[in-house]
Structure formats: structure tokens, C-alpha cells
């Protein structure tokens, strides 16, 4: 999952980025409220984590501007402002959750998972299917012809993107942006490496390949045509 973190404390930001990356998330960090709003308006991500006390533009103003633009992106406040009135104000402005500092990292991860689960259930699309391959987003399992595949977090993220875009070309750049980081080295072979491992699990044991390479562009997932 791609997450934008708005946090002006470098040590706290580094801690959160490292921890969420270990859980398979791609995290883009900004340290200024204006940068956070600009990022959220012009980039795609799955969740925003906002500090309330940001330079340039406070987190509450960022959220209000985001909601005024009709963006329904899930937002979690992570802030030292923990009084009841602060929490009520944040939730009333449209945040999906509110966690105060100091915090336990396991609780942050659990709250992120809960937000995603609620959003997934709202979309009423908890299971993706392409040909004989099924991806259960709630159980986080991938199954083909009754065989359950063991996928690492990055492989699961890649497969979800491919299946959501079944029949369309998914560029290598999009995968780099969505699964890793938008500043990631474009010369890296990390996409090819992970795609090779994913193919070994999704396609190699079966007769019909589902992941297809689009030369000089990216990949496409589809069944027989």
C-alpha cells in the first residue's frame, strides 16, 4: 500500500517510514503542510498520515482542504494534540482515525489495517479474480486452482495492482511508484526481480500464463484470449 506521511520531526518520520516499509508499505515523506496538500491533490496514494502541527500549513487545514476538493482518501491523524476537543475536531473534519503520540508502532499498524479493511469492505470488492486466480484482500491470500501461494508483501502488492488493472498495461514506472517509492532509482531492476519471483509462483506451476510482458513498457495480466 502506498502511504503519504506528513511529519516535520525527522527522527519520528524515519522511524515510521522504516517500520511501515518493513510491513510492505511504500511511504513518501513530506515535512511541510503545503507540500502534503500538494502531494495529496496531485498524486495517488492509499492512505495519508498527518501530523497536526506542521510548518507552512497545519494538518487540520490540510485535511479540510483535501475534503473540500472531494478527495475521499483515508486520513489518519498522528499527533501530540491528544485532548478530547482535539480528537473530536480532527474526526469532525473528516479524518478516519486519530492516534496520539507517544504511540506503540503495533497500534499504528493495527489502525492502518483497520482503515484499509473498512475501505475494502465499503468497496464491496474484497476478492479479485482473473481467470482461475483469486486474490482475497481481507484474508490476504492468493489461490490458483485450489493451490494457495505464499506471497511476500511486495509480491502481493504487485499482484493486486495487476489484477485491478486486468487487461490493461501496467507500466514499470507505475509499479515503482505504487509499490516502492516515487523517488526510487528508475534504473533499478527491483521490479524485474520481484516480477520473476511472482511469475514463478503464479504462472510457472500452471499451464496458462496470466502475467504477460509488454516490451519496453510494463506488464499486463489476463487469461486466455
Instruction: Convert the pLDDT of each residue in 64-113 to its tens digit.
Output: 999 999 888 999 999 999 999 999 999 999 999 999 999 999 899 889 98
Sheet holding 169-171, edge to edge: 169-171, 218-221, 211-214
The three grid cell numbers given for residue 57, joined into one nine-digit string:
500549513
State the residue range of the domain holding 197: 127-221
Which range (2-6, 18-22, 98-102, 148-152) has the least confidence?
18-22
Domain's final residue, options 123, 158, 181: 123
Is 41 a residue whose pLDDT tops 60? yes
| DSSP H helices in the chain | 10-22, 33-42, 59-68, 84-92, 105-123, 153-164, 172-179, 190-202
Domain's final residue, options 59, 93, 123: 123
User: Rg of the Cα trace of the chain?
Assistant: 19
Q: CB 33: neighbour CB atoms within 10 A?
A: 25
Distance CA 96, CA 1 (A): 17
Under 8 Å between Cβ of 68 and 95? no
Q: Could you tell me if 113 and 147 lie in one domain?
A: no
| Tally of domains within the chain | 2
Query: Residue 186 is part of a domain; what is its CATH number?
Result: 1.10.10.10
Please report the pLDDT score of residue 4 as a whole number: 95
Q: Could you tell me if 6 and 109 lie in one domain?
A: yes
Q: What is the pTM of this model?
A: 0.65
Amino acid at each position: 500500500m502506498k502511504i503519504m506521511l506528513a511529519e516535520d520531526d525527522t527522527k519520528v518520520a524515519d522511524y515510521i517510514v522504516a517500520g511501515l516499509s518493513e510491513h510492505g508499505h511504500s511511504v513518501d515523506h513530506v515535512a511541510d503542510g503545503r507540500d502534503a496538500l500538494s502531494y495529496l491533490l496531485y498524486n495517488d496514494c492509499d492512505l495519508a498520515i498527518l501530523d497536526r502541527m506542521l510548518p507552512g500549513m497545519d494538518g487540520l487545514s490540510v485535511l479540510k482542504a483535501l475534503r473540500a476538493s472531494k478527495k475521499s482518501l483515508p486520513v489518519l491523524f498522528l499527533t501530540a494534540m491528544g485532548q478530547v476537543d482535539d480528537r473530536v475536531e480532527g474526526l469532525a473534519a473528516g479524518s478516519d482515525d486519530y492516534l496520539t503520540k507517544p504511540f506503540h508502532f503495533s497500534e499504528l499498524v493495527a489502525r492502518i489495517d483497520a482503515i484499509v479493511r473498512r475501505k475494502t469492505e465499503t468497496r464491496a470488492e474484497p476478492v479479485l479474480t482473473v481467470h482461475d486466480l483469486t486474490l482475497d484482500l481481507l484474508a490476504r491470500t492468493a489461490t490458483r486452482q485450489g493451490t494457495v501461494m505464499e506471497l511476500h508483501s511486495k509480491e502481493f502488492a504487485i499482484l493486486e495492482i495487476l489484477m485491478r488493472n486486468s487487461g490493461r498495461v501496467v507500466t514499470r514506472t507505475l509499479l515503482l511508484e505504487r509499490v516502492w517509492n516515487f523517488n526510487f532509482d528508475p534504473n533499478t531492476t527491483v521490479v524485474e526481480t520481484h516480477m520473476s519471483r511472482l511469475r514463478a509462483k503464479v504462472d510457472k506451476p500452471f499451464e496458462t500464463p496470466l502475467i504477460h510482458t509488454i516490451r519496453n513498457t510494463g506488464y499486463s495480466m489476463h487469461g486466455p484470449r
